[in-house]
Structure 1
Amino acid sequence: MNCNHRKRICQLFLLAILLLPTSLFGQQDTLRVLFVGNSYTYFWNLPQLVTAMAESQGIPIITRQSTVGGSTLEEHWKEEKETKTRALLESGDWDYVVMNNHSLSTINTPADFDKYGKLFAELIKSKGAKPVFYMTWARKGDPSMQPTITKGYNALGKSTQSNVVPVGEIWKKSIGLKPEVDLYFPDGSHPSPEGTYLNALAFYKFLTGNATADIPHRLTRIDKDGETMYLAILMEDVADYFQDLVDSFEIKNLPYDR
């Protein structure tokens, strides 16, 4: 093979690469997501479950959390209750920072809900990440809470140009359609394992833009010793129902400027 022929082959090879669909590039880029909040986030390992769902589809997502039971975003901002959120924001190269405030904050302390949500959204953007608000749900004994919660999170998302994952509205629809599928822990506030699986589906769809139909109803991860951990074990029909439900929602990942 002469030199000119080899050169021509190389040129054609490079051209073929350039003509490949751009969607093929960056598919394996690892997303880094920090979850900030309280027990509504750490019950049944929500961040790890999102990672496991993504892994099951060959998508790399690293999740970390800064969570303290019963904490508010005000306490995270002021570094109270031994929270480490501000330090994690300084030290981490995050793509998204997902935040949930206390479950009663939109009702009992709406001014602080807005104030510290806005402060965190500004700080997160200044670090090159995208703020995301995790809309919580009504207590089991008082479904009338949901309109106030929904209004508060949507208004905060709009005022800060941040995305909102409408978990509370998904819960509302699920309970209306199939109340026998219990999303609540026995305390009537925190999520059951089924509730957390549903939440994780919503975040998987938000972060990847993909439908959830292929997510397994059993999800595992390997621990540091090489042992299998079971993060979720659902009845297959319940998982299928949740996937259909989440995929019926338009969960947008809006291209807000950072």
Structure 2
Amino acid sequence: MKKFLLPSKKSSYPVQKHLLNTLAFILIVVLTLGYSLSNGVDSIKTQAASKKLIKKKVLFVGNSFTYKNDLPNMFKKLALSGGYNITIGSSTYGGYTLLQHSDADDEKGKITLSKITSKKWDYVVLQEQSQFPAYDNLREEMYEGARKLDKVIKDNESTPIFFMTWGYKNGDTYNSVDATKTFEGMQEQIQIGYETIADELSDQISPVGIAWLNAYQTYPNINLWAADNKHPSIAGTYLTACVMYETLLGKSPVGLEFTYKLSIEKAKALQEIAHNTCAAYIAE
């Protein structure tokens, strides 16, 4: 029969030493793991704190060129993907002009003025009726409304931003003025209209219409207009939101993950158009 020998007193010391070493190792592992977990939690907390969303408040004042496809909320979602939490306000009514928005005796104008002073907005975006900036006989009315709104906004310690809109796809066929019979021609006149009043009031412009022109010339297959050839398509509103993103937040929209219903390729193309337009416009 095979015998099993008990360890002698001489051999018990190495066993005990090995056991102690093992226990010490386990203790070190436990302590190290505890320290690492503690640091890990702190690290996660630090990362979470560093990713806190930057808060901004933006009010949009305008008409159907703003509320078509819900530009304010598209801008909000785009900004969220860039790390911003935007509080959005909107006072937009079909066909409304800046003068109507500035009129305290006008039912909807009264609402607009109340919204402007309801809180300290970081920015109030002003969008004029689509034809007024393009014609001399309509610009004075635009400028009168712009001056009134500009004062109310600045008295409320907010910053006005002019939303330069775009020309109609086939030009303004409702008027017999040669200068606005094409998209490019109408866009040029709209730009003049907005820049004139913005310069007078020392206000900033969001060069949306110029971005539309650049996109139209660079990517003619991307249709920016809705079926009426005036209002924006989804792509048009997305491009507008990208320009607003860079104008209001000072960051490039290139690489933002929010693409709404557009393909990644189309969204990226419009993001790049928006960034290049804003960069060139600021440099002028």
Normalised to the residue count of structure 2, the TM-score between the two structures is: 0.72
**Per-residue CA distance 1:46-80 (angstroms, 9 max, x = gap):** 11111111111221111110000111011111153
- The separation in 2 between residues aligned to 1:122 and 1:166, in whole angstroms, is 22
Map 1:83-232 → 2, pairs under 5 A: 83=109, 84-106=111-133, 107=135, 109-142=138-171, 143=183, 144-218=185-259, 232=260
Measure the CA separation in 2 of the matches of 1:94 and 1:164.
Answer: 17
Shift of 1:253: 11
Identify the structure with bigger relative contact order (alpha carbons < 8 Å, sequence gap 6+): 1
1:39 paired residue number? 64
Match of 1:10 in 2: none
Matched, 1:68 2:93: yes
- Taking every aligned residue pair, what percent have the same amino acid on both sides? 30
Gaps in structure 2 of 5+ consecutive residues: 1-48, 172-182
Secondary structure of the corresponding residue to residue 233 of structure 1: coil
Q: Which of the numbers 6, 24, 30 marks the counterpart of 2:55?
A: 30
**Deviates further, 147-156 or 106-115:** 106-115
Greater mean alpha carbon deviation, residues 79-88 or residues 196-205: 79-88
> Structure 1 stretches (4+) deviating beyond 6 angstroms?
none
Q: Secondary structure in 1 aligned to 2:197?
A: helix
Partner amino acid for 2:126? M
Give RMSD over aligned pairs: 2.2
Offset, 1:82: 2.7
How far the C-alpha of 1:215 sits from its partner, in A, is 1.6
Asked whether the 8 Å contact 1:118–1:160 carries over to 2, the reply is yes
1:52 maps to 2:81? no
State whether residues 38 and 68 of structure 1, in contact with CA within 8 Å, keep that contact through their aligned partners in structure 2.
yes
Deviation at 1:196, TM superposition (A): 0.2
> 2:214 touches 2:277 (CA, 8 Å); kept in 1?
no
1:51 match: secondary structure:
helix
Structure ranking higher in helix proportion: 2
- Secondary structure at 1:128's aligned position in 2? coil
Give, in whole Å, the separation in 2 of the partners of 1:52 and 1:76: 26
Aligned residue pairs: how many?
218
Q: Within 2, Cα distance between the matches of 1:250 and 1:185?
A: 24
Partner of 1:238: 266
Give unpaired runs (5+ residues) of structure 1: 1-23, 219-231
SS of 2:274 mapped into structure 1: helix
Contact 1:114 1:156 in 2 (8 A): yes
SS of 2:199's equivalent in the other structure is helix
- Does the 8 Å contact 2:130/2:166 carry over to 1? yes
Residue matched to 2:278: 250
* Mapped partners of 2:281, 2:214: distance in 1: 21
Query: What is the letter of the counterpart of residue 113 of structure 2?
Result: R
Q: Secondary structure at the match of 1:185?
A: coil
CA distance in 2, matches of 1:138, 1:247: 20
Provide the secondary structure at the position in 1 that maps to 2:121: coil
Q: Aligned letter for 2:208? A: V
Distance 2:107 2:159 in 1: 25
Whether the 8 Å contact between 2:207 and 2:278 is mirrored in structure 1 is no
Q: Secondary structure at the match of 2:89?
A: strand
User: 8 Å contact 1:165–1:251 — kept in the other structure?
Assistant: no
In the alignment, the residues of structure 1 paired with residue 222 and residue 166 of structure 2 have an alpha-carbon distance, to the nearest angstrom, of 15
SS at match of 2:170: coil
Q: Give the greater-gyration-radius structure (CA).
A: 2
Kept in 1, the 8 Å contact 2:78–2:258? The answer is no
Q: State the AA in 2 paired with 1:179.
A: P
